[in-house]
Amino acid sequence: MTTVLSIDQGTSGTKAVVVSPEGTVLGLAEIPVRPRYSDGGAVEQDPFELLNSVVEAGRAAVAQAGAIVDIVTLANQGETVLAWDPVTGDPLSDMIVWQDRRSESICTELANHKQLFADGTGLVLDPYFSAPKQAWIRRNLTTEGLVTTSDSWLLHRLTGEFVTDVSTASRSLVTNLDTTEWDEELLDLFGLRNEKLPMILPSDALAGTTTAFGGLMPVGGLIVDQQAALLAESCLEPGEAKCTFGTGAFLLANTGTKAVRSTSGLAASVAWQARGQTTYCFDGQVYTAASAIRWMQQLGFISHAADLDHVSAQDSGGVLSVPALAGLGAPWWRPDAKAVVVGMTLSTGPEQLVRAVLEGIAAQVAELGQLVANDLGQPLKRLRVDGGLTQSKVLMQAVADLMQIEIDVYPSQHATPFGAVALARMTADTALSLKDAVITWQPSVSYEPKWSADQAADFRTRWRAVAETSSTS
């Protein structure tokens, strides 16, 4: 039986959880990190702040647990990148976060090859993914050292190894979705062909060992954060889907063991690769969810995220919001899109605007659900959800109303680290199946639609028209 230290390194913080063989949390530590948002679409993080948060959170969780840790696992941001010195391990640039849009011009230059990227990688040619940002670093910051996703640097600092995992690599725009190997032609288009690239590991592989958290510990079971949550929420069969409400909102659906491409503008990626079998997923992104809530805090509409339901009006009074504060993802893929609020009158107050923003987030999630249904050829039957914003009953009910399906709330705030725990267990115990490795759970609460199908359709039609003005402005 395996005790796991699972580290979830995210955009706004690092969480470390020590989990017992029975699935009990023995130790927990969280340390915030602070992205810097600047003009021109820049979003950056201090690499040493991230590294220190990983080490400090991990050590604190282990100390609190008072147990022997059998293996360490890491879930990462997926598309955040940096340049670093392979000899010293020191960063040569800041972290360029997944939200950063400065590589948009590079994607524009390669627009004639967008179908080649879609066919090869399953992804849309967009600054969201890692290779455009890596190319931007090479053009604008430094040609020295290595340029990789954040996980490779963190793992090198922890273990001395130079690796990434297959789910992270599949988020790059330079990994072939069918072979799960680096694609030299696509690397060449980004000017990255001569770069030294990390070894791509399956999700149940041992990555190395570390002494960063106490005694010598193996490290393995690596995965992207969103795919980790998909696994934790037991989305093990094709058509099962989840949405994580964090800094952004991310809807992923299991598509099985065949590498299929979306025809609706979704991204197709590796979900995980375990016991020699690759499982794939579709995913869509709402770039601003909790970040939109922080924006409302800055404006003084709410004091804390916990105030959302208390402040929110019973209805928006006709106000519609597209909170595209960092652009729009699928199906628009418009990094230049701007937030839009329409329908305000002299009687509109903060409470109507709060309601409209929450409904705007829910409407984007509903659009993603429809795209998944279009690609799968059948509607989603229910949606599993996790993340801090699931505590907002108003938001969750809006998602159920607009999607017209039942919403099951994951009972823990640790979906991402729990998903990584499953893969770490498989790494430590080669006889353990994927299903048996996942921590069992029951929804803490479920939401059923209260709106009629006609009411939901009417809202979504009106909201979609506003979204189109946002994406074409």
User: Is 172 a member of any domain?
Assistant: yes
User: Is 430 a member of any domain?
Assistant: no
What digits encode the pLDDT tens for the residues 26-58?
999 999 998 998 888 899 999 999 999 999 999
Same domain, 303 and 206: no
Q: Which of 127-136, 224-233, 281-290 shows the lowest per-residue confidence on average (mean pLDDT)?
A: 281-290
- Residue 471: which pLDDT band, with cuts at 50, 70 and 90? low
CB burial of 315-353 (b: ≥16 within 10 Å; e: otherwise) equals ebbebbbbbbbbbbbbbbbbbebebbbbebeeebeebbb
Same domain, 255 and 204: no
Instruction: Name the domain boundary from 226, 242, 267.
Output: 226
Range of the domain at 55: 4-226
Same domain, 328 and 219: no
Same domain, 321 and 274: yes
Entry pTM: 0.92
pLDDT over 60 (residue 264): yes
pLDDT over 80 (residue 278): yes
Question: Could you tell me the CATH number of the domain that includes residue 60?
Answer: 3.30.420.40
pLDDT over 90 (residue 246): no
Same domain, 125 and 209: yes
Q: Which helix (H) or strand (E) holds 166?
A: helix 166-169
* Residues listed for the chain: 473
Same domain, 76 and 46: yes
CA–CA gap between residue 298 and residue 98 (Å, rounded): 22
Same domain, 208 and 329: no
What is the share, in percent, of the chain residues with pLDDT greater than 90?
86
pLDDT over 90 (residue 1): no
The predicted pLDDT at position 472 comes to: 65
3-state secondary structure of 36: strand
Same domain, 310 and 345: yes
Q: Give the highest mean pLDDT range of 175-184, 296-305, 319-328.
A: 175-184
User: Is 452 a member of any domain?
Assistant: yes
Tokens 């001395």: give the residue.
160
The predicted pLDDT at position 451 comes to: 97
What digits encode the pLDDT tens for the residues 71-115?
999 999 999 999 999 999 999 999 999 889 999 999 999 999 999
User: Is 375 a member of any domain?
Assistant: yes
DSSP state of 9: E
The predicted pLDDT at position 430 comes to: 93
Tokens found for residue 163: 């690796």
CA–CA gap between residue 165 and residue 200 (Å, rounded): 5
Same domain, 217 and 240: no
Instruction: Name the domain boundary from 191, 226, 261.
Output: 226
Instruction: Name the domain boundary from 226, 243, 275.
Output: 226
pLDDT over 70 (residue 146): yes
User: Is 420 a member of any domain?
Assistant: no
The predicted pLDDT at position 394 comes to: 95
What digits encode the pLDDT tens for the residues 356-367?
999 999 999 999
User: Is 419 a member of any domain?
Assistant: no
Same domain, 179 and 61: yes
Sign, Cα dihedral of 231, 235, 239, 244: negative
pLDDT over 70 (residue 352): yes
Tokens found for residue 461: 């039609």
Average pLDDT over residues 318-344: 89
Read off the amino acid at residue 211. T
Alpha-helix residue ranges (DSSP H) falling in 171-303: 184-189, 225-232, 290-299
User: Is 279 a member of any domain?
Assistant: yes
Report how far Cα 423 is from the mean position of its chain's Cα atoms.
17
> Are 333 and 265 in contact, with CB atoms under 8 Å apart?
yes
User: Is 424 a member of any domain?
Assistant: no
Average pLDDT over residues 146-153: 98
- Residue 473: which pLDDT band, with cuts at 50, 70 and 90? low
Same domain, 277 and 311: yes
Domain count, the chain: 2
Same domain, 219 and 239: no
CA–CA gap between residue 220 and residue 283 (Å, rounded): 24
The predicted pLDDT at position 336 comes to: 83
